[in-house]
Amino acid sequence: MVSVGTIVWLSSELMFFAGLFAMYFTIRQVRPDLWSEHTPTLNVPFATANTIVLVISSVWCQLGVYKAEHGQAARTGSLLNVSGWGMREWYVLTYIFGSLFIAGQVYEYAQLVHDGITLSSDGYGSVFYLTTGFHGMHVTGGLIAFLLIIGRTFTTRHYSHAQATGAVVTSYYWHFVDVVWIALFATIYLLK
């Protein structure tokens, strides 16, 4: 039931982001001059690297899911023995990469504000910050979920199927925000 509920909830989140995409394309259609003016200020190589960080975090997340489904909550052996890592270690690595992605977005926002593109500067700034900002809030929510799932591994003696389900549905959410970001990245940074 938890998995089904998560999928239904993610469907509603998909509609939310569809609205943001509709807003983006509508304003872009009405004011193409803003895109001609502001798109060159975007740091596409940096955004590409930041996107790769988020995509790699999904790989780490899926490795954690694999370990959770096999009942291995924590590592067996040395921290340097990656093959013995459990769900906790893979989710900590996912958390670190997700945090790096958010830090990258904050850095990019600072650069854009320095270049005069703000939330209230014009339509371009508004849709850029709204779409990427809401996505960033969703990533932050995922990071909080990872902390809760990781924390649960310290409070239990036996890693049960119910706890593994929590790890799995957290991965659904994480993969969802990853796919949404890929669509946003392609729309904002690559679509000319």
**Domain edges within the chain:** 2-190
User: How many other β-carbons are positioned within 10 Å of the β-carbon of residue 144?
Assistant: 11
Q: What is the pTM of this model?
A: 0.93
| Fold of the 2-190 domain | Four Helix Bundle (Hemerythrin (Met), subunit A) (1.20.120)
pLDDT in tens, the chain (192 residues): 777 888 898 899 999 999 999 999 999 999 999 999 999 999 999 999 999 999 999 999 999 999 999 989 989 888 999 999 999 999 999 999 999 999 999 999 999 999 999 999 999 999 999 999 999 999 999 999 999 999 988 887 777 887 889 999 999 999 999 999 999 999 999 997
Q: What is the pLDDT of residues 82-97, one digit of tens each?
A: 999 999 999 999 999 9
